Amino acid sequence: MREVEYRSHGVPLEGYDLTRGDHRRQKERGEISQAARRMADEDAAKCRADPAMAERRRQAFENAWKLMQSFQKQDHEVMRWRVRLYCGHIVEMHMHYSYTDPVTGGALPRRCSECGAQGLTIVAYEPIGLLGERPESQSAPPPPPKRPTRAELERRVEALEKENKRLRAKRSL
């Protein structure tokens, strides 16, 4: 697992004051959310008009869901983040450990657990730590011994022949 240097922004979260940039990002998020909702509604209307298209779409979503479920992350691959939302509440979020911050990782809570507001931007954040401990690294088996070269083998044969001669001479005495 590679080492990641995690970033913080707006710490301490309790004393963070919203900036003009925060207000702008929240407004943009709201506009994007409305446009996405309109597009989804138009698409849903097309699917209702064409049952075959609706069935293909349902099957595609089901396949995508199964694929996403097959990628289970281990606890040591999940970073916990403490984030301050635009509404002012501080919540905990989880993301894959490879992201340096929750904003670039695309972390978006479905709704604030404190006030229930939806579609809020993250205005400040700090890493808490991994969800679980990394398992002890399993030592890799030692590499197989390298094959001796022809020259090494010839030297070994020569040494053994000398040893054999010496032992035979000793035995004959």
Residue written as token pair 């970073």 = 79
Predicted model pTM? 0.66
d(Cα 77, Cα 63) in Å, to the nearest integer? Answer: 24
pLDDT digits (tens, 9 = 90+) for 16-41: 999 999 999 999 989 998 999 999 99
pLDDT digits (tens, 9 = 90+) for 103-124: 887 766 667 888 999 889 999 9
139: number of Cβ within 10 Å: 6
pLDDT digits (tens, 9 = 90+) for 154-172: 999 999 999 999 998 888 7
8 A C-beta contact, residue 81 and residue 122: no
**Which is higher by pLDDT, 73 or 92?**
92
Looking at residue 95, the DSSP 8-state letter turns out to be E
Share of the chain above pLDDT 90, in %: 51
d(Cα 164, Cα 62) in Å, to the nearest integer? Answer: 75
Residue 129 backbone dihedrals phi, psi, to 5 degrees: 150, 170
Query: With the CA atoms of 89, 93, 97 and 101 taken in that order, what torsion angle do they form, in degrees rounded to the nearest 10?
Result: -30
Domain boundaries, the chain: 13-130
Q: What is the mean pLDDT of the chain?
A: 88
